[in-house]
Structure 1
Amino acid sequence: MSEQLTLPAEQRERNGKGASRELRRTGRVPAVIYGDKNTPLSVHVDEKSLAKMLSTGHFMNTIVMIDAGGKSHRTLPKDVQFHPVSSRPIHVDFLRIGEHSTVTVAIPVRFDNEEASPGLKRGGVLNVVQHEIELVCDAAEIPDELHIDLTGLDIGDSIHISNVTLPKGAKAAIDDRDFTIATLVAPSAMKSEEGDTATDAGDVPTVGEEGEAEGGDAAEGGNEG
C-alpha cells in the first residue's frame, strides 16, 4: 500500500495568470483542491517539496494530506501540468476524498520471476500491452504496484486480467471483458526460421530443380527425334 504523504500549503489570496506567474517566480506552485461536495480551495505549495514527491514514481496513486488554512485535507492527485520546456510543475489538481472513499487509480504493473519463464529463456519477447491497470479500490488501500508472476510462461501464452491477483477489495475499472495485459511472442529470428521451414516444405521447385526438369524434357525430345 502506498504511504501517505503530507504537503504543507498556503491559501492563494489572488487567482489569475499574473498571480500564478508571480508565485512560480518565488518557487511556489499554484494548486486547487476540489471535490467531496465542498467549495474548491485555491492554494500554493513548495515546488521543491512537490518535485521530491513526484520523483517517487507513484505520486498519482498516493494519498496526500494537504495542510492549508489550519485544516488538513485528504486528497488524491488528479492532474499535474508541466512547463513544456523546463518540465517544471506549474499547476496541480487535488481531489478531496473521504478516508474510505472509493477511488479509481492507475496502478503500474511489475513483472516478476523472468528467470522462471521457459519462453523468455528460449529468447521470447514479453510484449506488454498494459503498463498500468486502472483499479477501483478503497482510498486507504491503494497499492503501489501490481506484481505479475511470469513463472511457467511460454511462447504463445498471454496474461489476462483474470490471471492477476488483485488486492483485497479492489477490482479492475474495466469489467466487461477479460483484457490482455501482456503476451509472450517469438523473437524475429525464430519467426524467420519457421518461415524458411515452411517454404522448404512446400511444392515450389528451386531454380536447380526447374533446370533439371527442363533438361529432362529436352533429352526426351531428342530421343524421339
Structure 2
Amino acid sequence: MSQAFTVKAEARDKVGKGAARHLRRSGMIPAVIYGDNKEPLSIALPYKETFLALHAGGFMTHVATIELNGEKIQVLPKDYQLEPVRDFLMHVDFLRVSEKSRVTLEVPVHFENEEKSPGLKRGGVLNVVRHEVEVECPANAIPEAFTIDLTGIDIGDSIHASALTLPANVSLTITDRDFTIATIAAPAALRSEEGEADEAEVETAPASDAEDEE
C-alpha cells in the first residue's frame, strides 16, 4: 500500500464538545476509526503531525498507519473538518482497511504537454470540468493521479472519461456515460470576432433572402 504517514495515537475515553476542546488545547485532535465490521475507535492524534500530513498532498488517497496501544492499524482518511475562519484542523475520520479492501474515493486529474496543444497555442483556454474523478479500487492499489496528454487537442475539442488509462482492478463509479473531464474553449477575443462576423453576414444578406424568410 502507498503510505501517507505513520502516527501514534492515544485512546480517547471521553467524547463531546468539552472533551474535544480540551484535546485541542493540549495539542491533540479528536479522530475516529471505523469500518471492517468492527466497533468504531475514538482516538486522539498529535495536531502538528496530522496537520502537516494533511497539507503534504495525497492525504485522502494514501493509506496511513495509526499505532494504538502497540497495534498498527491501516486506515484511509475519509473526511476531515476545518475551522472555517482559521483553517484549524478540528477532526478526522478514518476507514479501517486491509490488503483485501476495496475503497471508493476521488483521484486527481493532471494534464501534460500543454505546449503541444494547437488549441492552447492559439490562445485557447483549458476548461477543467472535473479536477477529480471517483473510482473504486483495491486499498493497496490506489492511483496517485490520472494524467491526460493534451498533444493535438484543439479549440472546441472535449476530453472524456474514455481518455483515462485505468490500472487493473480500478473502475470508474460513473458507468452510464462517457462524461466530460475538460474542454479547450476559444479565447474571448476569438469568440468576439466570430460574433462580429456573424452580425456582418446578417447585415449584408441580400434583400431577396430576407423577403424569402418573410
Q: TM-score, normalised by structure 2?
A: 0.92
- Corresponding residue for 2:38? 38
CA radius of gyration, larger in: 1
> Is the alpha carbon distance of 1:121 and 1:2 closer, same or farther for their aligned partners in structure 2, counting shifts above 3 Å?
farther
Q: What does 1:186-201 correspond to in 2, within 5 Å?
A: 186-201=186-201
2:3 touches 2:65 (CA, 8 Å); kept in 1?
no
- Corresponding residue for 1:210? none
- Corresponding residue for 1:113? 113
Partner SS state of residue 202, structure 2: coil
- Corresponding residue for 2:163? 163
In structure 2, list runs of 5 or more residues that go unmatched.
206-214
- Corresponding residue for 2:181? 181
- Residue 73 (str. 1) matches residue 53 (str. 2): no
- Corresponding residue for 2:144? 144
Whole-angstrom CA distance in 2 between matches of 1:136 and 1:5: 22
Percent identity between matched residues is: 52
Whole-angstrom CA distance in 2 between matches of 1:2 and 1:184: 34
- Corresponding residue for 1:82? 82
Deviates more, 1:94-103 or 1:145-154: 94-103
> Is the alpha carbon distance of 1:3 and 1:65 closer, same or farther for their aligned partners in structure 2, counting shifts above 3 Å?
closer
- Corresponding residue for 1:103? 103
Q: Residue 78 of structure 1 aligns to which amino acid in structure 2?
A: K
Shift of 1:171: 1.0
1:3 touches 1:62 (CA, 8 Å); kept in 2?
yes
In structure 1, list runs of 5 or more residues that go unmatched.
206-225
Partner SS state of residue 21, structure 1: helix
- Corresponding residue for 1:55? 55
Whole-angstrom CA distance in 2 between matches of 1:68 and 1:203: 77
**RMSD (Å) for aligned C-alpha atoms:** 1.4
2:4 touches 2:59 (CA, 8 Å); kept in 1?
no
Q: TM-score, normalised by structure 1?
A: 0.87
Partner SS state of residue 140, structure 1: coil
Whole-angstrom CA distance in 2 between matches of 1:166 and 1:149: 14
Whole-angstrom CA distance in 1 between matches of 2:194 and 2:79: 48
Partner SS state of residue 14, structure 1: coil
- Corresponding residue for 1:127? 127
Deviations 1:118-149 (A, max 9, x none): 00000011111001111111111112211110
1:2 touches 1:143 (CA, 8 Å); kept in 2?
no
> Is the alpha carbon distance of 1:41 and 1:83 closer, same or farther for their aligned partners in structure 2, counting shifts above 3 Å?
same
Shift of 1:204: 4.8
